[in-house]
Structure 1
Amino acid sequence: MKTDSLANKVYVDLRRQILSNQLVPGMRLKEDEWARKTAVSRMAVREALTRLLGENLVVFGEKGGYFVKSMTPNDIREIRELRELLELGALRLLAQKPNTALLDTLDKICEDFTAMVEKGYLGGACDADMKFHETLISGACNAKLMELYQFSNIPLFHMKLGKMLMDDYAQTDREHRQIVNALRKQDLKLAQSTLVKHLERGEETALGLI
């Protein structure tokens, strides 16, 4: 496989783990370590890290090395505000064009989330959480909305791997399912109020972990 393809593979994996907070803010990303983990050259890892640096997902340390960008309380507040604007907009679009297949997909993601938590695979639960919200956005069938969501590099800031209580995962599960059930009943108001509470709880949890 060519170096650029390998670099893209590492980039996609690192980006996914950063956005789902499996790689937490402040963590150093060592080139040699990730080269071993992903079975690629350090050059491929360096290309991936440089790309993430350009997206402002990692920063270069004062003494060298790449680190996952830390978030300030203001960053967290602004992330919550942006996610709320985009995801509430997606819910409005979804309500205008009901899609049973999409809701079935969201139900399956909820089942995957539950199974991952029950088995203790919290990294998998983080992935399922990220997939749930991305599916809400993509299901709105608005390419510009999806591009904005992806290009904004919006992390799921409440999913700090290993630092949340199991009650937090259970509450996330309940909120996801309530959003889907509300959409099935075409109760946009309930879907939106649940989403707002979900994001506000995420903001509060993230602030408590800084």
Structure 2
Amino acid sequence: MADTIDHSDLDHEGIARALEEDIIFGRLAPGARLTEDSLLSRFPVTRHFVRQALVQLEQMGIVVRERNKGAMVRTLTPDEVRQIYEVRELVQRQAALMIPLPAPQALIDELLDIHREHGEHIESGFLRGVHETNDRFHLKLFGACGNKYLVQTIELYMRYSLPVRANSMADRAALDISHSQHRLMIDMLGGRDNWLLAQLCVDHLQPSKRRYIGLVDAG
């Protein structure tokens, strides 16, 4: 698949976005090396921009840089995945428990709009759109808890788990299940059962985690 990024006026953020897409959609596998020279041959920019892009990706948690070894796409061990998801489960459960129910109709309407867009991207196979609307949905949902620091933690661990989540991006059946669970979450916002909503938010995390760990163990 060709790059979807316009290279005509690139800065370090544009390079980071292009590489993030490659990682999300499997064009760059976990452990793949990202040398400055190879990136310079791909992007018409200075070495300074390439280095800034690698720093940005490292801060996002999807690239690791080692002294005298350069940068590579982050690889997660099964134990690291379990630990990351233990934190995700804790913070997302807590956020769901804190959402005032029934939720305002304005929030429900906004989530329905995002949900509709998410479904359209699944149908058209636009994976960048699927990824972005998925993240928007969850951050909007958990943002209703009213604790910005909790939401920032959720967003941080969403980034840490990107290699895990990206692994299911090309699986249409997995996307359809995720999409249907989003709709259930919206429906629950009209009720009063925070515990049921919180459990669904935790259950929603499990398929990607199990799939990634299974693939690593099998490899």
Instruction: Report the TM range for the smaller structure's normalisation.
Output: 0.7 to 0.9
TM-score between the two structures when normalised by the length of structure 1: 0.79
The residue that corresponds to 1:159 in the other structure is 166
Query: 2:175 — aligned with what?
Result: 169
Shift of 1:49: 0.6
Change (3 A) 1:112 1:35: farther
Note if 1:202 corresponds to 2:208.
yes
Whether the aligned pair in 1 keeps the contact of 2:36 and 2:50 (CA below 8 Å) is: yes
Partners of 1:137 and 1:146 within 8 A in 2: yes
Does 1:46 find its partner at 2:51?
yes
**Secondary structure, counterpart of 1:59 in structure 2:** strand
Instruction: Give the CA deviation at 1:97.
Output: 7.4
Q: Aligned partners of 2:113 and 2:196: how far apart in 1?
A: 21
Superimposed CA distance per residue, residues 40-73 of structure 1 (whole angstroms, 9 cap, x where no aligned partner):
4332121121243356531236874421110110
How far 1:89 sits from its partner (Å)?
1.4
| Aligned mate of 1:117, from 119, 122, 125 | 122
> Match of 1:86?
91
Distance 1:61-1:108 versus aligned 2 partners, 3 A rule: same
CA distance in 2, matches of 1:66, 1:132: 31
**Count, aligned residues:** 204
For residues 16-38 of structure 1, give each alpha carbon's deviation from its aligned partner in whole angstroms, at most 9, with x where no partner exists.
64895665522333546656776
- Residues 28 and 67 of structure 1 are in contact (CA less than 8 Å); yes or no, is this contact kept in structure 2? yes
1:192 aligns with 2:184: no
Please give the alpha-carbon distance, in whole angstroms, between the structure 2 residues aligned to 1:149 and 1:192.
14
Unpaired stretches in structure 1, ≥5 consecutive residues: none
Structure 2 CA distance, aligned partners of 1:110 and 1:97? 19
Distance in 1, Cα, partners of 2:144 & 2:21? 23
Output aligned runs, 1:126-145, within 5 Å. Answer: 126-145=131-150
- Say which SS state the counterpart of residue 31 (structure 2) adopts: coil
Separation in structure 1 between the aligned mates of residue 208 and residue 66 of structure 2, nearest angstrom: 28
Superposition RMSD on alpha carbons, in Å? 3.1
3-state DSSP class of the match of 1:158? helix
**Paired amino acid for 1:29:** L
Q: Which residue of 2 aligns with 1:101?
A: 106
1:69 aligned partner, one-letter code = R
Whole-Å separation in 1 of the counterparts to 2:97 and 2:23:
25
One-letter identity of the residue aligned with 1:194: L
Identity of aligned residues (%): 25
- Distance in 1, Cα, partners of 2:140 & 2:150: 12
Q: Which amino acid aligns with 2:123?
A: E
After TM superposition, the structure 1 = structure 2 runs for residues 58-73 of structure 1, keeping only pairs within 5 Å, are 58-60=63-65, 64-73=69-78
Counterpart residue number, 1:148: 153
- Does the CA-based 8 Å contact 1:26-1:70 persist in structure 2? yes
Q: Distance in 2 between matches of 1:8 and 1:111?
A: 28
